A and B are shown apart, each in its own frame.
Chain A
Amino acid sequence: MDKTIVKAGNLVYRRTPVMNDNVMHYCPGCGHGTVHRLIAEVIEEMDIQSETIGIAPVGCSVLIYNYLEIDMQEAAHGRAPALATAAKRLMPEKYVFTYQGDGDLAAIGTAETIHAANRGEDISVFFINNGIYGMTGGQMAPTTLPGMVSSTSPYGRDIKMMGNPLKITELVARLPGAYFVTRQAVHTPSSVRKAKKAIRRAFENQTHKKGLSLVEIVSNCNSGWKMTPVEANKWMVDNMFPFYPPGDIKLNGKLVNKEKE
């Protein structure tokens, strides 16, 4: 592109240099790309590119390190908070975050999630919850809703047989080591703006050394849910939000509403 076409005064949007030009492998309509961009923008705005270490999960976002221009470590499935614990303790002056999906954070990595939060590790955890295992082909996740269809719950999640969906974010919020816990989404321009503020707050908290920050992003998996992106977002609002309501759960170390389940 001829850069001279865009005059400084007319520039309304540009790609943050913390992201690169690699073509993303995500399905159209997926929330991952948006969340990647928000994280990259916050890193740019806080001017912490050289001080940030990210930990990638196993799942759809395993290749996040192909898109972000920062130092990253690729963890084993569920273990990102353990890697982040070591990185942060060895380099307490750096910013360390994990990026994890629901299978990674809330099933196989439950112990690492709970214990890193309970120890009050000064890290930021970004948790993308789409209620399904996307990468392996749409199997049931710990966050799959009751009655929700997946490839391993083809007749809908039967609570008696398969157990309940896990609200791990509420669980983490109740731990003394968690300082900031919030649930956000990225399906509308206003929700994107709110999510970005939450992500920035999670990074900024690392300078206070008061404990772990967790930002859950309720997202869709239109491929796994077998819907169009528009249908998927509508389904998310109608079905996911009642069970996983967006909003702050814990602010500055205090639960926002103790009665909230």
Chain B
Amino acid sequence: MTEEIIIAGFGGQGILSMGKILAYSGIMQEQEVSWMPSYGPEMRGGTANVTVIISDEPISSPIINKFDSAILLNQQSVDKFEKSVKPGGMLFYDGNGISRHPEREDISVYRIDAAEEASKMESSRIFNMIILGGFLKIKPLVKFDNVVKGLAESLPGRHHSLIPLNEKAIRRGMEIVKAVHEV
């Protein structure tokens, strides 16, 4: 099994850390992983994307241009990466701020309205965990226990008190993800 994933959106949405948690979760279950960011000079507000590969075998190239799953969290990302999903693959997106929705017929499309949900839960910082929950519900690549371990591994010690809130957000994401179109 090899799963090639791209996560893309605005800097500050927690794109890189979501990828990191996913990668660490893979390590927790003894899989090979790679985490390859595309970085810009901005710290916040610019575009950010990260490629995460989780595999049972050694990873050949960590740099890829076709993906099994794409998690696209702003309009630019949908525009840029919708076409990069392999036929039969999956696209996840947040409807917030999207005017041109994904259109491809040959892939499965799921919507996770995480921004809205995060504001209901009164914490914009768990946005990315709601997305991660929605993704893992459809694509159970890593076990929930291992995600929690991955969280602990990738968060600095001073933030460990936030783990229960993050867990709650992941579970909420699993509840709210809905299929738009399935192949």
User: Do A and B contact each other directly (Cβ–Cβ < 8 Å)?
Assistant: no
Residue positions of B touching A, CB distance < 8 A = none
